[in-house]
C-alpha cells in the first residue's frame, strides 16, 4: 500500500493526490485504504516515515564498524551523501515528492535530524574515548558537524550535487572538520 501511495503522491503531487487515487491504483475501495490510514495526512506521514527509515537505516551500523573514528565518520557522511544523491539523480520526481512531504511533516524531519546527529555523536564519543578526537561535548560537536556539511545532504542543495566538483568540495570541508576535531 505504501509503494502505491508513493507512486500516486509522486504522480499527482502531495497536495492533489487523494486516498481515492491510492485506492483506485490498488483496485480496492477507498474504505480499504482508510482501514489502514485514517486520513490522507496519516498516509502521507507514513510515506514520509518510510523515507526516514530508508535514509537512516543504512547509516545506523556505521558507528559500530571496526575502523578508526575518523574513518567511520567519513564513511557515514559518504553513505548519507550517496543515498541522497542517488535518490535525486535516479528519480528526481520521487525525491521532490519526499522533499514536499518533509516540508509538511516538520516533526518527522526533526526526529530524522536528531537520529542522524545521535549517530554522528556516537562516532565522536568513540573518537574522544580513544583520544583520536579532542575532548568536548560529543552532541554539540556532532550537531556542528552535521550543520557544516548541509550542502552535501540537505535537499535544498540537491541541484548542486550534480556539479563536477561536489566531491572535491566535500573533501575540503571534511579536512577542515577533521583538523578541528582531531587530537594532534
Q: Is the predicted pLDDT of residue 100 greater than 80, yes or no? A: no
Is a pLDDT exceeding 90 seen at residue 54?
no
**153 belongs to a structural domain:** yes
- Domain with 56, as residue range(s), is 48-181
Does a structural domain hold residue 35? Answer: no
39 found inside a domain: no
User: Which residue is it, cell 475501495?
Assistant: 29
The enclosing domain of 167 has a CATH number of: 1.10.357.10
Predicted TM-score (pTM) above 0.75? yes
pLDDT at 93 > cutoff 90: no
Mean pLDDT, the chain, rounded, equals 89
Whether residue 129 lies inside any domain: the answer is yes
What are 72's three cell numbers? 567511520
Report the domain count for the chain.
Answer: 1
pLDDT, residue 141, reads 97
Amino acid at each position: 500500500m505504501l509503494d502505491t501511495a508513493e507512486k500516486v503522491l509522486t504522480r499527482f503531487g502531495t497536495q492533489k493526490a487523494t486516498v481515492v487515487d491510492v485506492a483506485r491504483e490498488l483496485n480496492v475501495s477507498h474504505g480499504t485504504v482508510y482501514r489502514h490510514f485514517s486520513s490522507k495526512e496519516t498516509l502521507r506521514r507514513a510515506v514520509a516515515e518510510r523515507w526516514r527509515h530508508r535514509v537512516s537505516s543504512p547509516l545506523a551500523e556505521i558507528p559500530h564498524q571496526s575502523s578508526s573514528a575518523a574513518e567511520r565518520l567519513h564513511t557515514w557522511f559518504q553513505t548519507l551523501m550517496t543515498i541522497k544523491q542517488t535518490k535525486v539523480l535516479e528519480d528526481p520526481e520521487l525525491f521532490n515528492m519526499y522533499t514536499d512531504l518533509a516540508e509538511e511533516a516538520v516533526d518527522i524531519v526533526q526526529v530524522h535530524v536528531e537520529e542522524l546527529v545521535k549517530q554522528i555523536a556516537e562516532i565522536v564519543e568513540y573518537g574522544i574515548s580513544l583520544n583520536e578526537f579532542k575532548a568536548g561535548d560529543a552532541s554539540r560537536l556532532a550537531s556542528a558537524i552535521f550543520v557544516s556539511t548541509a550542502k552535501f545532504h540537505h535537499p535544498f542543495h540537491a541541484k548542486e550535487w550534480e556539479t563536477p566538483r561536489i566531491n572535491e568540495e566535500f573533501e575540503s570541508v571534511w579536512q577542515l572538520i577533521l583538523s578541528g576535531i582531531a587530537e594532534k
